Amino acid sequence: MSAGQYRKNIAIGFEVEVVQKLHQKSGELTWGIVKRILTKSPQHPHGIKVMLEDKVVGRVKNIITE
C-alpha cells in the first residue's frame, strides 16, 4: 500500500499528484496542493480522494511534500 492510500498521511496544504477519473485508464497524473480531503474512511485501495486548490478532484497517487 502506498502513502496516498491512507488518510492520516495527507493534510491540507500538501503537494500531491492525483489521477482524475477521466485519466484512470492512462494513469496521467495532475500536480496540485490539497484544498479538501473528500474521502471519509481512513484508507482506500485506489487512493484518498481530494480536491486541489484549482478545484481538480482526484485520488492521491504520490505525496510530494509534507
- Model confidence at 58: pLDDT above 90: yes
Beta carbons within 8 Å of 40's beta carbon, 6+ residues apart: none
Domain that holds residue 53: 3-63
Q: Helix, strand or coil for residue 59? A: strand
Per-residue burial over 12-24, b = 16 or more CB atoms within 10 Å of its CB, e = otherwise? eebebbbbeeeee
Amino acid symbol at 66: E
- Model confidence at 66: pLDDT above 90: no
What pLDDT does 30 receive? 97
Amino acid symbol at 32: G
Q: Is the pTM of this model over 0.85?
A: yes
Q: Would you place residue 3 in the very low, low, confident or very high pLDDT band (cuts 50, 70, 90)?
A: confident
14's grid cell: 500538501
